[in-house]
Amino acid sequence: MTSISEKALAITAREKERYANMTPGSQKATERAKKVLPLGVASNFQFFEPHPIVADHASGSRLWDVDGNEFIDYNGGYGSLFAGHSHPTLVEAITAQAPKGTLFTTPSVLIAEVAEALVERFQFEMVRFTNSGTEATMDALRLARGYTGREKIIKLEGGYHGHHDLVMMSVRPPLDKAGPADHPNTVPYYGGTAKATIDEVVVISFNDLPALERAFTEHPGEIAAFILEPVPENMGIVLPDDGYLAAAKEICHKHGALIIFDEVKTGITSNWGGASTIYSVQPDIICLAKSIGGGVPIAAFGASREIMGYIADFTVAHQGTFNGNPLVTAASLAVLTKICTKEATAAAIARNARLIEGCQKVIDETGLPAHTVQLGAKGCVTYVPERVRTFRDYKKTNFELAYAHWIYMMSHGIFLPPGLDEQWLVSVAHTDADIDRHLEIFEAFVREVTA
C-alpha cells in the first residue's frame, strides 16, 4: 500500500514538471537575475524551487506572470495586500500625491491623519512611522530598552520579527540545536550575528507561562521586554491558549518589563482593531506594517503617551529619512479610512470563513491528517492532525504533504505563499468565485492524495 507521503511525493514530482512547463519565461528571467542578484531575488523569502513566478502585473485578487499565467493571489505580498492589488482608491491616492511631492523630510498634514486613523483602531495613544516591519520591531525594542533601562529581551521559538540582529534568533532552529522544549537554546538564524547579541535574547515556547516566569527569575532585573505575535503567523497560525496573553502581560509587568505585540501580520487583517482587540489585551507597544500600506512600504509602532514620551524628550532616538513620506502616508490613509473599512473587513473575514469551512469539510470527509486554522482574513491548512500550540508542535508537520499541496495549488493557478509556514490572505478584492475556485482545486488535490 502506498503511504500518503509517498503519494504526496508522486504528486509533487508531476506538478513540479507541470509548473516548470507553464513558467519558462519565469525560469529565463530568474536565470538572468541570478547573474546579478543572489538567488535572482531581492529577498531570500522570494526564492523557491524550482524558480519563483516572475510577475508581470497584478490587479484586485489576480496576478499575471511573464508567461501570461493568471493566478488568484492568496499570498498577497506575504499578507501585505489586504486591500488587494492596486485598488482604484489607492491608485488615485498615490497618483494624486505623486505630482505634489514624494518626499519632504518635513511633516505633511498626512502624518497626523494616518496616526489618528491608527490610534482609533489600535487603542494606543501615540505612534511613529517606519518603512518596514523590521524597523518597527527594532525601534520598539530600542524604546523598551530605553524605557526600562534594561538590555535583554524574551522572544518566542519560531517567532519572526524581521531581520535585525536582536530578533534573528530561534526563528527556525534545527531541533538538534534547539535544546529542551521547556527551556530552549537561543539559536541564531544563519550567520553574521554577534555572540553578544545571542546572549541578549532569551527564547521560550509559545503558550508556556511557566517558561516565561522562569525567564524573568533566571535574569532578574535584566529583561526589557517580551516580544511576540499575539497569534504567531510564522508557523501556520497558532492560536493562544485561553487567558495566555493576559497572563503573559501580567507576568511581564510584575517583573518590570514591557510586552510588545508584533501585529505586523495580524494588524488590520485579523480584525478592524487588530488581534489585541480580539483578545482584549492591550500590550505596551504594538508594531504594524504590511497591510497598513496596501502594498507600499510604511510601518509603525505605537504606545502610550508615557512610553512614547521617551522619544519626545530624546531619551531614545527615533529617525529615518523616508519615515512618513507623503507617498506612503497618502496610500495608508486610503487603506485605513476608505478601502479596508469595518464593513469591507467583515466581508473579507466572512469569505475567508467560507473558505476555511469548505477546506475543513473536505479534510473531515477524507481523513486527511491536517486541520484548518483561521484568524480573521487569514487562514491555513496545517498538516498536523491536532491543534498546534508551539513551534515544536509545528515541526511535526508532514512537510511532504504540505509541499505537495502548495505546488499543486500553484500549478493550478492558486498562488499560495511559498514557505510552508505561511498562511493565505483573503483580501477585500477576493470574490465568492475566487473562493469557489480555491475550494475546487483544494478538493481535487485532497481527493487524489487520499484516494
To the query of whether residue 78 is one of the catalytic residues in this protein, the response is: no
Residue 179 neighbours by CB under 8 Å, 6+ apart = 185
Please state the closest distance from residue 234 (CB atom) to ligand PLP, in A: 6
Please state the closest distance from residue 35 (CB atom) to ligand PLP, in A: 25
Radius of gyration of the chain (CA): 22
Please state the closest distance from residue 385 (CB atom) to ligand PLP, in A: 26
Residue 288 neighbours by CB under 8 Å, 6+ apart = 118, 122, 133, 136, 263, 264, 267, 268, 274, 299, 300, 301, 302
Q: Tell me the sheet residues that pair with 259.
A: 226
Cell 530624546 found at: 314
Q: Select which of 160, 279, 310, 408 is catalytic.
A: 160
Please state the closest distance from residue 313 (CB atom) to ligand PLP, in A: 27
Q: Select which of 265, 290, 378, 395 is catalytic.
A: 290
State which residue has the least CB distance to ligand PLP: 133
Please state the closest distance from residue 161 (CB atom) to ligand PLP, in A: 4
Closer Cβ to ligand PLP, 8 or 268, answer by number: 268
To the query of whether residue 139 is one of the catalytic residues in this protein, the response is: no
Closer Cβ to ligand PLP, 85 or 161, answer by number: 161
Closer Cβ to ligand PLP, 16 or 318, answer by number: 318
CA distances from 229 to 45, 84, 156, 209 (A): 19, 23, 9, 15
Closer Cβ to ligand PLP, 187 or 235, answer by number: 235
Whole-angstrom distance, CA of residue 23 vs CA of residue 316:
49
Could you write out the three-class secondary structure of 208-272? CHHHHHHHHHHCCCCEEEEEECCCCCCCCCCCCCCCHHHHHHHHHHHCCCEEEEECCCCHHHHCC
To the query of whether residue 265 is one of the catalytic residues in this protein, the response is: no
Closer Cβ to ligand PLP, 79 or 184, answer by number: 79
The SS3 assignment for 401 reads: helix
The SS3 assignment for 295 reads: coil
Q: Which residues bind ligand PLP (CB under 6 A)?
A: 78, 132-134, 137, 160-162, 229, 234, 262, 264-265, 289
Contact 26, 41 (CB under 8 A): no
Q: Tell me the sheet residues that pair with 63.
A: 58, 71
Closer Cβ to ligand PLP, 289 or 401, answer by number: 289
Please state the closest distance from residue 369 (CB atom) to ligand PLP, in A: 27
Q: Select which of 65, 262, 284, 434 is catalytic.
A: 262
Catalytic residue annotation: 160, 262, 290
